[in-house]
Structure 1
Amino acid sequence: MTYLDKAFDLSGTVAVVTGAGSGMGRVGSEVLAEAGAKVVVADIDTARIDETVAAITAAGGTAKGKQVDVSQKASVDDLVDFAVAEFGRIDSMLNVAGVPHNVDVVDVTEEDLDRIIGINLKGTFFGCQAAMRAMLPQGSGAIVNVASSIIDLPFQGYSVYGMTKAGVTMLTRVLAAEAGPHGIRVNTIAPGSTVSGFIDRHRFNDKGEPDPERLERYVSNMKATSPLGLMGEPIDQAYLLLYLVAPASKFVTGNTFRANGGNARPW
């Protein structure tokens, strides 16, 4: 094998990916499988789970699907137990599942506050916790959490979302310090604006009707935050996920990586 082959070879490893039914979770799962990993595809949407598993197996990879509600600790624990039962171990845990939220502080309801924290922050915490229990006995592993460029730029209306993603970055740093002595690495990616299901809410007007002009304005605004004049695609984040669980990053932990087009300003 060449240096490059060795650096990104995941043969014989097992990866668990939450939020794997769409967007960067799905593309990331496909990339990891292509690199040789056996992938546990986890999502709350069973139809999307089936689609991702089918895509991986059609390409010659190995995948099993498992429904999960990351906001529920028991569900996440069950996911990790399932992965170990199916494949004998977990080498990488990718906590991708998350939901957007765009409401001014004064209008945020307690129900929404609890929901977003439950999925974005508690869900990531539960994933880290469950993965650690599986990885500690084997003395190795890689955990990747997903934050957002919102941690660097204050976008109006993103208070709750930003709070959860800032929390994810600190969780990563603390856990990296705790996990390192056990051979386990923990890192975060902080994606920039990406064309995925996350922007679906900008496709419709307040009446729920398709609104191409609103979507075009949003895309234009997002492109304007990047010196490259681009919006990202799920594959841009998937390559980061691959790097952070592969041998190529064996000396990398406690860091936050940004594929964000050089986000330079809020809009």
Structure 2
Amino acid sequence: MKLTGKIAIITGGGSGIGHAACVLFAREGATVIVADRDVAAAQRVASEIAGQGGRASAHQVDVSRDAEVAGMIAKAVADHGRLDILVNNAGYGIAGTVVTTAEADWNALMAVNVNGVFLGCKHAIPVMARQGGGAIVNTASAVANVGIHDRAAYVASKGAVAALTRAMAVDHVDQKIRINAVAPGTIESPYFTRILSGPDGAELRRGLEERQAMERLGQPVEIAQAMLWLASDDASFCTGTVMVVDGGWTARGDRKPKIER
């Protein structure tokens, strides 16, 4: 029970890694606010947690909108009196090079993947500072460290998350706020389920698995476990860290750069 008595917000909590993190954090004793743009998905996760004896509530939020993020943080404090943990997990990816990516698509992705982290921290940090500390975990990506084919906007956004994590960690260490990030590799998530559902799905899966040193895709709970460690007191000497959890993908010199369309 690493998070007993803690109040945690997890964005993008309605599916994939966020879902796994919400369930795991609740099992470890946290009261979890499942935040997602899809409120029905958030409610399903909150109900799942309640069914397991945990404490959770659903909150609808578009993390790209300042007023909605501010309202989410304010409601957590109003309901629970404090906010101990924020996991900025909401995000998505699009295909395209800088030539083929439309400006509107670039801006929309940056608004969620980068601005969402900025806004979450902007509103959570003052709360945590007043109460004497807290922990923030951002979701970056292994592609913050390497370039991949046909994902220019996504790679840029996750590189920004990694850099922002380090900058904020330095700025707020004196307020006893630890700010870290987890950098997942290729994870069995709804995003990849959609990609692999087409006629070439089996071939694409084989390609994705072959590029992993462990020759398999990661599972959402494996990323959630890393988030749990970073959010818990076990990581008390850890801030400004971007923890890569990618099955050895970026460690391989022979990885194939071209991936799914």
TM norm. shorter chain > 0.5: yes
In 2: Cα distance, 1:78 partner to 1:32 partner: 22
After superposition, the CA RMSD in angstroms is 1.1
In 1: Cα distance, 2:102 partner to 2:193 partner: 21
Residue 202 of structure 1 aligns with which residue? 195
Larger deviation, residues 126-135 vs 218-227: 218-227
Residue 64 of structure 2 aligns with which residue? 71
Moved beyond 3 Å, runs of 4+: none
* 1:14-33 equivalence runs, <5 A: 14-33=7-26
Partner of 1:168: helix, strand, or coil? Answer: helix
Q: Are residue 45 (structure 1) and residue 31 (structure 2) matched?
A: no
CA contact (8 A) 1:202 1:214 kept: no
Larger deviation, residues 193-202 vs 166-175: 193-202
Partner of 1:104: helix, strand, or coil? Answer: coil
* 1:1-267 equivalence runs, <5 A: 9-204=2-197, 211=198, 213-263=199-249, 264=252, 265=255, 266-267=257-258
Shift of 1:45: 0.3
CA contact (8 A) 2:69 2:120 kept: yes
Larger deviation, residues 22-31 vs 195-204: 195-204
Letter in 2 for 1:65: A
Letter in 2 for 1:214: D
In 1: Cα distance, 2:40 partner to 2:160 partner: 30
Residue 4 of structure 1 aligns with which residue? none
Letter in 1 for 2:91: G
**Unaligned segments of structure 2, at least 5 residues:** none
In 2: Cα distance, 1:134 partner to 1:221 partner: 45
Shift of 1:163: 0.6
Shift of 1:193: 0.2
TM-score (normalised: structure 1): 0.92
User: Any idea what the Cα deviations from partners look like across 1:195-229, whole Å, max 9, x if unmatched?
Assistant: 1112144135xxxxxx2x42222221211221110
Letter in 2 for 1:161: Y
Identity of paired residues, percent? 34
TM-score (normalised: structure 2): 0.94
Partner of 1:119: helix, strand, or coil? Answer: helix
Shift of 1:152: 2.0
User: Any idea what the Cα deviations from partners look like across 1:22-49, whole Å, max 9, x if unmatched?
Assistant: 0010110110000000001100001101
Partner of 1:63: helix, strand, or coil? Answer: strand
Partner of 1:93: helix, strand, or coil? Answer: strand
In 2: Cα distance, 1:214 partner to 1:143 partner: 38
**Unaligned segments of structure 1, at least 5 residues:** 1-7, 205-210
In 1: Cα distance, 2:186 partner to 2:130 partner: 38
